[in-house]
Structure 1
Amino acid sequence: MKMTNVYPTHHENPLLYAGFWKRFVAYMVDGIIRAFLTFAIILIAAYLDDRSGFLDPAADYEMGAVGGMGMLIVVLMYLLYHPLFEASRHQATPGKMLLGIIVTDTVGQRLSFAHALGRHLAGAISYLTSFLLYFGYWMAGITARKQALHDLIANCLVINRNAEVKLPADVRYVAGGFPLWAGILIGLVFLIPVLGILAAITVPAYMNYVARATVAATISETATTRQLIVEQTRRQGFVPASHHALESDWPQSINEGKALVEIVDGTLRITFTERAPARLQGTTIGMALHGNVKGQTDWQCGLGPGQGPRLSRHSGAELTTVEEQLLPTQCR
């Protein structure tokens, strides 16, 4: 007995397969149904989320837990709408039922849920042919068995429900299941965007972390220098105008060369060099001395407040160009 895994070609049985336009109309009907369900779910979820503000046009509505759950339900609905209907005893979504067409495997058998889900996810590959005018979908109008790209990938057919099928008696038809390579391909199609999204979130966050850590470490390394300035200020009664006036050795480069330190009219200025993270290069942080030359003193860091009268000519804020979000809390 001969074996094959295909139905007859379109030319051998032209009334068997559902054509492109019939499938297109069915898809539009399903699209209207999904849009209505989406609107209803979001409307109900948003109303339950904030009954006092949702229907008020002037209210500043913000989505909460129930609204977020509604969005999750919408996502699941779009994911499961086609697989659940096409794996059911009807083998068709409401749109396909209306047009009298069903989805089968390559020998006309009902799909399992996993097979139907695989076919639905394979639709993402057809969608990726958008740069070719969605040729993956148009293939349903030109292939021998009216299969779109995702049908070919998933070993599925879309046929007319009442079409008469005459199979040769000496042929045993073997259905082609969902191929492993297709599963891997679909996984990559969905994995790559996810990885891209994760990278878009984590890479900037990591760069911010590195920049903030560099700022904090650099400020910390100025502690000894600041103490030298305080001691000299108490001895001579005024703040050194520049680092050249400082009586002690002056460490101009700190934090492994990532920053240079100088005194500008009594205010400590940190300038980040090309060795620092890109977001910091060329930016500065000012630190101004506050208090009493003979008593308690305090350093005003960056944009932060200072305690007591300022002894330096410039405030820290005047000499600070580092982004506020990169500054330690005490410097904001």
Structure 2
Amino acid sequence: MSELTAENAMMEITSDTYRYAGFWMRFWAYIMDLIVVASINGILLTPFKFINDGEVIEMGFWTLTGIIASIMFYLYFLLMTKKFGQTLGKMIMGIKVIREDGEKLTWNDLLFREVIGRFIHRVFSFLAVLYIVVAFTKEKQGIHDMIGNTRVVFVD
């Protein structure tokens, strides 16, 4: 019983030491990140306008440029968060992603948060509304944070 109490006390201390980033801080960071990703995709995908006489290269249901743009979107969030704990938008806003237990972010954490969580929000566009969950949870978690067991906190 004392171990359980000690764990609970440690969890309370840990959660009290962070200032969680709310909806609007995260929203503006995300908008900045979308601008960065769109800029990168603009640079990478411009040469495709000169290939195939400017015709879209289709691959079944998708286009080649659509596939590359999607890969770049997920890679940006995945690699930036793994390397720095932040994307450029989060750096500007002074926030970063951490694990709920305070340990270093792992690939599994980030695959669930950045790829699977974001994929769910983007593919099922009506679920994008669920980003608002951040505004109402105690630790300001979105669905993708809950999936990845992460939090977004202010950098002190």
TM class by smaller structure:
0.7 to 0.9
User: Equivalent pairs: percent with the same residue?
Assistant: 27
In the superposition, relative to structure 1, how do residues 17 and 64 fare at CA in structure 2: closer, same or farther (>3 Å)?
closer
Counterpart contact for 2:112–2:147, Cα < 8 Å? no
* 1:63 shift after superposition: 3.3
Contact 2:21 2:140 in 1 (8 A): yes
Matched with 1:31 is 34
Partner of 2:117: 122
Aligned residue in 1 for 2:73: 78
Q: How many Å separate the matches in 2 of 1:69 and 1:126?
A: 22
| Equivalent of residue 139 in structure 2, options 145, 148, 151 | 145
Which entry has the higher C-alpha Rg, 1 or 2?
Answer: 1
- Using structure 2 for the length normalisation, give the TM-score: 0.77
1:3 is the counterpart of 2:3: no
The aligned residue for residue 154 of structure 1 is: 148
SS at match of 1:108: coil
Query: Which consecutive residues of structure 1, in runs of 5 or more, have no partner in the other structure?
Result: 55-60, 163-332
Structure 2 residue matching 1:87: 3-state secondary structure: helix
Q: Which has the higher helix share?
A: 2
Quick check: 1:103–1:110 contact (8 Å CA) kept in 2? no
Cα separation, partners in 2 of 1:93 and 1:62, compared to 1, 3 Å: closer
Matches within 5 A, 1:166-181: none
Say if 2:82 and 2:110, in contact at 8 Å, map to a contact too: yes
Alignment of 1:252-291 (within 5 A): none
The 3-state SS of whatever aligns with 2:97 is strand
> Counterpart in 2 of 1:301?
none
Q: 1:17 corresponds to which residue?
A: 20
- Specify which structure has the bigger relative contact order, considering alpha-carbon pairs within 8 angstroms and separated by 6 or more residues: 2
The two structures have a TM-score, normalised by structure 1, of 0.39
Residue in 1 that maps onto 2:82: 87
Matched residues, number: 146
Taking the aligned partners of 1:153 and 1:29, their CA distance within structure 2 comes to 23
CA shift, 1:73, in A, is 2.8
Helix, strand or coil for the counterpart of 2:7? Answer: strand
Change (3 A) 1:62 1:28: closer
- Give structure 1 regions of 4+ aligned residues with deviation exceeding 4 angstroms: 4-10, 68-71, 126-129
CA-to-aligned-CA distance 1:210-269 (integer Å, 9 cap, x gap): xxxxxxxxxxxxxxxxxxxxxxxxxxxxxxxxxxxxxxxxxxxxxxxxxxxxxxxxxxxx
Corresponding residue of 2:43 = 40
Gaps of 5+ in 2: none
Q: Deviation of residue 85 (structure 1)?
A: 0.8
Q: Is 1:137–1:149's contact at 8 Å kept on the other side of the alignment? A: yes
| 1:115/1:142 CA distance change after superposition, 3 Å | same
